[in-house]
Chain A
Amino acid sequence: MRRIISVLLENEPGALSRVVGLFSQRNYNIETLTVAPTEDETLSRLTVTTTGSDKVIEQITKQLNKLIEVVKLVDLTEGAHIERELMLVKLKATGSQRAEIKRTVDIFRGQIVDVTSSVYTVQLAGDSEKLDGFIQAVGTSGVLEVVRSGVSGIARGEKVLSL
């Protein structure tokens, strides 16, 4: 099953490489990984999406917790949560394609953030499925370049992951 694990990490050099190293060393999957400092500058927030059986996921969370620099973590998929990913796409856009793309972007609630005579650059946020859906809708043949941020997530309601 796909899981979203959210980690508070000491904001120190080398901490990230320990997390990444753990995944490769123990043969766990990383599908996406995002990391950035938080409002508390001593902490980074890292979100990793991974897949595995319940047993593997249990080991992943235990092994992550063992890393000295991991302060706290939560498996967001255990409860209600919001997940978002940002995508920037460059699309071939000439002639009648231009109007068609514009319509699709609107349906997906994206924005065209840059324009040339032959290219649209589109920005889109949502869960990963929505981003996949957009690419499918515009058709891969017109896609020149895709950049995805990887998943960020947060629990719904009053639950917070903090010190």
Chain B
Amino acid sequence: MELLSGADMLIRSLQDEGIEYIYGYPGGAALHIYDALFRQDKVKHILVRHEQAAVHMADGYARATGKPGTVLVTSGPGATNTITGIATAFMDSIPMVVLCGQVASTLIGEDAFQETDMIGVSRPVVKHNLSVRHPDEIPEVIRKAYYIASTGRPGPVVVDIPKDMTTPNERYEYAYPKKVKLRSYNPAIRGHAGQIKKAVDMLMAARRPVIYAGGGVILGKASGQLTELTRMLGFPITNTLMGIGCYPASDKQHLGWLGMHGTYEANMVMHHSDLILAIGARFDDRVTNATEKFCPGARIIHIDIDPASISKTIDADVPIVGPVDAVLKEMLSLVKESKDKPDAEALAAWWKQIEEWRAFHGMRYETSPDVIKPQEVIEMLCKLTNGEAFVTSDVGQHQMFAAQYYKFDKPNRWINSGGLGTMGFGLPAAMGVKLTHPEDEVLCITGEGSIQMNIQELSTCKQYDLPVKIINLNNQALGMVKQWQDMNYESRHSQSYMESLPDFIKLAESYGHVGVKIERKEDLESKLREVLAMKDKLVFVDIYVDRFEHVYPMQVARGSMKDMWLSKTERV
């Protein structure tokens, strides 16, 4: 057997795990590892400018590819800088492994230089964390970390590596374990057959059914099965913000997404349904609105890999614990075999009602002859990229407009921080996508507030030649905060204006990129075409949009799903 140092074992383990890219930032406690990295060329390291960005990059990569991302940082400040990124991944169940240096095990507990209890600090925001206690454990720990991160309900795993575990001159036998077995961790591999049968019987008997799909469908790679089942049943389907793309947005059975800023028709259909088939969704507060008023006439079938997601906020009538792809596959075969068919007459009446809601059209905005509307920008981008771009976003009004007006027909293309709502996510996430999808268009839809939370990454983009397109919907305000202040605080705009904005064009140029400013409505299409034509350039597009726009529909706080504002003055 080969003899390797801990640091070399770590890098070899990453190679054997098939890891292509790691994102990180060096420092004292990680230097043995960085040296091992230097002496090989299989695993490529991307040097970011802030550790938070490394985590978001790994996250963007994971969301676009479905594979776990990898981060490497040093102890203390390097490790704590990753926390926001880890929490972001945790809330959205994104698989990733974060490797953190640590002070030598002999110094732990002594408040040594750059010592932080990363196991303790990260505990509430990880799926699991592991420390290395002996160098010869490293291959097994790494194998375990990836196994836990990417199976069951995925999530981030932190590995804490004291510096003396990676000492160059101490060598141990290296073998990468083929398999790991954890007696206390056995994620379900299929759903309960009896429950699935019961669910199918309920589907056949429903009169006003709706399918409510979440990010779990994308994480569980079950878009294909979901689409087939939905078409076979002929039911209306809506999805969450995290589920965007799990079912083609341009299909006629699709109602758009639901919840706080969801479509009028999706929220109406949910509220009036008699059966909800929830798949890989978790009934969170941005979807349900007031739980006690949630969909009063609906029975609920809930499929999820995580039993704790079932009946957490809304009780399920038929819980099914299992991987969504396996469960949907079984459902599909039962539906195909079934002698019963959904009641065609009831379904036709239901669709008639749905078409009326659709015709009422809650998704509308007023255009203006001179001011650029943010929604227009998104519609234009969707048109110019044929709805095929990877779109990452930051957090705020621009995020909601992007999700509402860009039509995604494929999964893994809409990439946003849905659960934590992390401003600063968009640019590094876009970089993670672009690195592995160099031929695809990658747009980062952002606001002048959010982009400044990780703008230093323009430098990383230069170093690694990552020609993403940054679309800054510049409303010169923390727009979403301002909207809430308009609606709930009589327009007292406490701290929601961003004064002294930088000249983003010069800023982009100073990093060696291209900056384009769009202020006039008549320039919008032509300038965006020029921007998209610059295939190999990072372009920062600073678009001055209506400063007073609000996002609608918006659910009325503490109401039911059907209680919405449709504009500043219309409430239904």
Contacts and interface: CB of A to CB of B under 8 A. Distances in A.
Interface of A: 10, 13-14, 17-18, 21, 25, 55, 58-59, 62-63, 65-66, 68-72, 163
A68 B308 contact: no
A132 B183 CA distance: 40
Interface in B16-30: none
B184 A66 contact: no
Contact of A68 (B120, B128, B315): B128
Contact of A55 (B120, B127, B182, B311): B311
A21 B119 CA distance: 12
Contacts of A70: 184
B307 interface: yes
A155 B311 CA distance: 28
B119 A65 contact: no
B148 A25 contact: no
Given A14-B129, A68-B182, A68-B184, 15 more contacts: A10-B184, A13-B131, A14-B119, A14-B131, A21-B123, A21-B124, A25-B124, A55-B311, A58-B311, A59-B308, A63-B308, A65-B308, A68-B148, A68-B185, A163-B183
Interface residues of B, number: 19
Among B127, B148, B184, residue most surrounded by chain A Cβ atoms (within 10 Å): B184
Contacts of A163: 183
Given A68-B128, A71-B183, A71-B184, A17 B311 contact: no
A14 B121 CA distance: 12
A66 to B, nearest CB: 6
Contacts of B306: 66
8 contacts: A10-B184, A14-B119, A14-B131, A62-B307, A68-B182, A69-B184, A72-B184, A163-B183
Top 3 nearest A-B pairs (CB, nearest first) are A62-B308, A71-B184, A68-B128
B87 to A, nearest CB: 12
Contacts of B123: 17-18, 21
Contacts of B185: 68
A17 B306 CA distance: 22
Nearest to A8: B184
Contacts, number: 35
Among A25, A63, A68, residue most surrounded by chain B Cβ atoms (within 10 Å): A68
A149 B185 CA distance: 30
Nearest to A55: B311
A58 B315 CA distance: 12
B197 interface: no
Q: Dominant SS at the A interface?
A: helix
B293 interface: no
A22 B131 CA distance: 19
B312 interface: yes
A17 B182 CA distance: 20
Contact of B307 (A13, A21, A65, A68): A65
A70 B183 CA distance: 9
Nearest to A72: B184
B549 to A, nearest CB: 37
Among A10, A17, A58, A62, residue most surrounded by chain B Cβ atoms (within 10 Å): A62
A71 B119 CA distance: 20
Contacts of B315: 55
A128 B125 CA distance: 35
Contacts of B183: 71, 163
Interface string B156-197: 000000000000000000000000001111000000000000
A18 B184 CA distance: 14
A63 to B, nearest CB: 5
B308 A66 contact: yes
Contacts of A72: 184
A17 B129 CA distance: 12
A35 B396 CA distance: 46
Nearest to B148: A68
Contacts of B308: 59, 62-63, 65-66
A19 to B, nearest CB: 11
A55 to B, nearest CB: 7
Contacts of B129: 14
Nearest to B133: A13
A74 to B, nearest CB: 15
Interface string B290-331: 000000000000000011100110010000000000000000
A1 to B, nearest CB: 18
Contacts of B119: 14
Interface in B96-124: 119-120, 123-124
B550 to A, nearest CB: 33
Nearest to A10: B184
Nearest to A26: B124
Contacts of B311: 55, 58
Contacts of A17: 120, 123
Contacts of A21: 123-124
Nearest to A13: B131
Interface in B71-96: none
Given A17-B120, A25-B124, A66-B306, A59 B312 contact: yes
Contacts of A66: 306, 308
A63 B310 CA distance: 11
Contacts of B184: 10, 68-72
